[in-house]
Structure 1
Amino acid sequence: MNQTSDTTFDLIVLGTGSAGQNVATACREQGWSVAIVDPRPFGGTCSQRGCDPKRVLAGAAELIARSRHFTGKGIQTENAIDWADLMAFKNTFTQGIPESTEEKFEQAGIRYFHGTASFTDKRTISVGEHTLTGGKILIATGARPATLGFDGEELLLHSDDFLDLERLPKTIAFIGGGYISFEFAHIAAEAGAKVHLIHNNDKPLKNFDPDLVQALVGKMEEIGITFHLNTQTEKLSRSGDGYVLEGKEDGKPLRLECEAVVHGAGRIPNVDELDLVTGGVDFDKKGVTVDEYLRSVSNPDVYAAGDVSGSPGLSLTPIAGLESRAVAANLLKTDSSKPDYTATPSIAFTYPMLASIGMSEAQAQASGKEIKVNLLDMSDWYTYKRVGEKPSMAKVILDKSDGTILGAHILNGEAEHLINYFAIAMRQGMTAEQLGDTLFGYPTEGSDMTYLLEL
């Protein structure tokens, strides 16, 4: 837009990801004047630099792994990934998003501005030469990679960079033991790279069940991934066409020569350039401090949703959608809509996949409830033996007093489906008996549910 004078809107949205788009569109449909601002290509992280392109690459890695399971069982040879072809395919999902998002805003009558936004007072936003005043403001700017604080940190690739690599490095290290590093490590290893994964303590994937994480680590080691736990990265430097990573592993010197080193050690709310102090918007390391209606506790005209919000919700795309629906309802009606974070599923798209929902075993033990823990090795069950899945494991935590499902944790190639069955049951208040009594098609992973739910 070529607007150069001060402009007033009913709503200003900062960020064009799913949360920002949802609220902007909902308010515009009700006749509000809406402006939306983003310094990066429109469309947000998930669709262009996160979940969606990652899953395209992970899908190829999964096919390689499944094919390998059948080698000698009817499949004659292993498949292989052509990285350039895979990236070209990935680009078919991402390349048109900024333009189509702009067209969407244009057609809806939403004014859009490319640039970095910052508060100049509690209701005014500066974007380059533009000054925008909003009756209400939504902060939906997502998250950015955390600062790690070691010498040479500026040489790190970020997740965006990995998803755009034209050529896969022969040797690659991932710093961080979260799901992003695990997923990317699996993709790179299945594509033929030598992979190192570095984590600063002995508990990677801390938000997932430790028994299943241990089994997943073992499986990933089988395909050649080297884990460096209890390892502190101290320095990254250039060496010819590659890099040298130096640190301490269990207190002993570590030196790795790699063609690339990728930051996968966590993300933090993207607020640094917003000048929230000038806007009277309180925030902390979790993000914008909000009440149960996602309204800023210090500036009643400001809301926040998605990864930038300091709400109890996990940093996941479905939570951004959940929170955006609540914000839209609260803006258009009154502060009456509270997001329900009950039973939020998390999935690491490695292979096997690792999925989690509800309480961990430790949380259930500490709750004071009388619980039953079903820890099952399903590797020899027909469903998984027929496709060579090993390990295949589940841990389901039940409340013995009333049959409530407290938590479920799955490790296998069908985890993405199984965890969604649990999500439906837990959000709708179904008991273990009711879910177990559901008739699923046979033979499928659903038809095994009853064995996971025995009280």
Structure 2
Amino acid sequence: MTKSYDLIVIGSGTAAMVAANRMAAAGKKVAVADYRPFGGTCALRGCDPKKMLITGAQVMDDIRRMRGHGVAADGAHIEWRDLMEFKRTFTGPVPGKQLKNYAAKGVDTYHEHARFAGPNSLELERSGIIEATNVLIAAGARPVPLGFPGEEHLMDNEGFLELDELPARIVMVGGGYIASEFSHIAARAGAKVTVLQRGKRILSQFDGDLVGWLMEAFDAAGIEVRTGHSVEAVEKTDEGYIIRVRSADGGTAAVHADLVVHAAGRIPDLDSLGLEAAGVERDQCGRLKLNEHLQSVSNPAVYAAGDAAAQGPPLTPVSSHDAKVVVANLLEGNTYCPDYRAIPSVAFTIPPIASVGLSEEEARSKGFKFSLKSEQASTWYTARRVAESVYGFKVMVEEGSKLILGAHLVGPHVDEVINVFGLAMRHGLTADDIKSTMFAYPTGASDIGYMV
């Protein structure tokens, strides 16, 4: 007999966990299917393990900056294998904990591939057909195809986070979050790192002026960044890899490496789901066609969340938010829409760079009238206390309303401080509200009043 559910979730990451737990708490019969270890990208193969490795890299940078200022740590270095084992103390238990949590809530779990067999049914590779009133696609993302010869030789970000040994020469293909964060980890662990970015600059999601200031930290770490360089091919040799590169001016070069990492972005992982069998349509870019309620426009039984929905920024809090919206719509009818206002974004370089709201270019193109405060603030106490030369901000405040339109920060503690700006923007607090707030001092947040 075919098993039936109120909701089947494809995937087991943040969106899947939130949706499954909430539906089960509402008394609904729920199943979760994932062919990979339960836990999803953020907990197992992304945000959390990455930041555990960054902790080790941060310590090394703290020592570098404080050398000569009272700290003597000659010979200090990262033991890569031990750092990786520390990471696994977190990631290792995650799948078991999640399965135990689902069992306690009465959620059925299927550790196998799932693909649509009909509008509201799935075929599992071992368990056969299961069906549900609704299906939530929360299958995450995969590396974008690169399309050059030798692409198969590249290791993806997930492989990098499982390396038992760190190669001496590493090339990052791409210039976004993955390339920037991983290059800071690897360089401070002793690797020679080269970033190859075909665009004019790296970290295009962030303010160009602040990225320019951040490049000082790349230089200090010995990371070579080549912008305007497109990879044309990767060849495997007995000694490692040769990366054939063409620059924007038409010149060619060969870069030698022991490891080449795919850091050129990710796309929704949808191709293996058999969407055609369910009548779930995709647009010309391959994304799901969804309405404002995160529901398939062609199959009302199907919803999507997180990377699979690709409606908001590709961030973990967005996945959680999407899942809450979907569950509310399933339980109460389609009355809820996602709200992607003022979502902070951080690249965990050393130091980090952070952003929330409009860029300067976006604010001008939308016709806003605003005041702009921007400064390289390396002489401020927050930076001097930790001997950090990279510290700065750009904040835009609308004339009249005094609402914050956008905040862009780089330097120590900005990964936390940006959340205060996000809170203010999402809840309509003005620059005057922020100025009148008494923050604990001395902290990174105590600088906010001088930034608006």
Scaled by the length of structure 2, the TM-score of the pair is: 0.97
Runs of 4+ in 1 over 6 A off after TM superposition: none
- Partner of residue 298, structure 1: 298
Alignment of 1:35-184 (within 5 A): 35-78=31-74, 79-129=76-126, 130-184=128-182
How far apart, CA to CA, are the structure 2 residues paired with 1:290 and 1:437? 43
Cα displacement string for residues 272-308 of structure 1 (whole angstroms, at most 9, x for unaligned residues): 0011122111123363221111111111111000001
Q: Please tell me whether the aligned partners of residues 414 and 444 of structure 2 are also in contact (alpha carbons under 8 angstroms).
A: no
**Higher alpha-carbon deviation: 76-85 or 260-269:** 76-85
Q: Is the 8 A contact 2:412 2:444 kept in 1?
A: no
CA deviation after TM superposition for structure 1 residue 222, in Å: 2.3
Number of the residue aligned with 1:280: 279
Question: What amino acid does structure 2 have at the position aligned with 1:242?
Answer: G
Residues 199 and 227, structure 2, Cα contact 8 Å, conserved in 1: yes
Q: CA deviation at 1:218?
A: 2.8
1:212 maps to 2:210: yes
- Paired AA for residue 206 in structure 1: S
* 1:351 maps onto 2:361 in alignment: no
Contact 1:18 1:321 in 2 (8 A): yes
2:15 to 19, 22, 25: 19
Post-superposition CA distance 1:35-83 (Å, at most 9, x none): 1100101110100000000000111111111221110011123531110
Q: How many residues align?
A: 448
Deviations 1:204-233 (A, max 9, x none): 211100001111123202221111111111
Structure 1 unaligned blocks of 5 or more: none
Corresponding position of 1:432: 431
Give the 5 Å matches for 1:194-343.
194-250=192-248, 251-284=250-283, 285=285, 287-311=287-311, 313-343=312-342
Unpaired runs of 5+ residues, structure 2, are none
Task: Measure the CA separation in 2 of the matches of 1:443 and 1:156.
Answer: 45
3-state DSSP of counterpart to 1:408: strand
Contact kept, 8 Å, 1:268 with 1:286, in 2: the verdict is: no
Bigger drift between 143-152 and 223-232 goes to 223-232
Moved more, 136-145 or 102-111: 102-111
Cα deviation, residue 103, structure 1: 1.4
**1:403-422 equivalence runs, <5 A:** 403-422=402-421
CA distance in 1, matches of 2:450, 2:310: 39
With the length of structure 1 as denominator, give the TM-score of the two structures: 0.97
Alpha-carbon distance, 1:10 to partner: 1.1
Q: Secondary structure at the match of 2:346?
A: strand
Q: Is the 8 A contact 1:175 1:263 kept in 2?
A: yes
Letter in 2 for 1:415: V
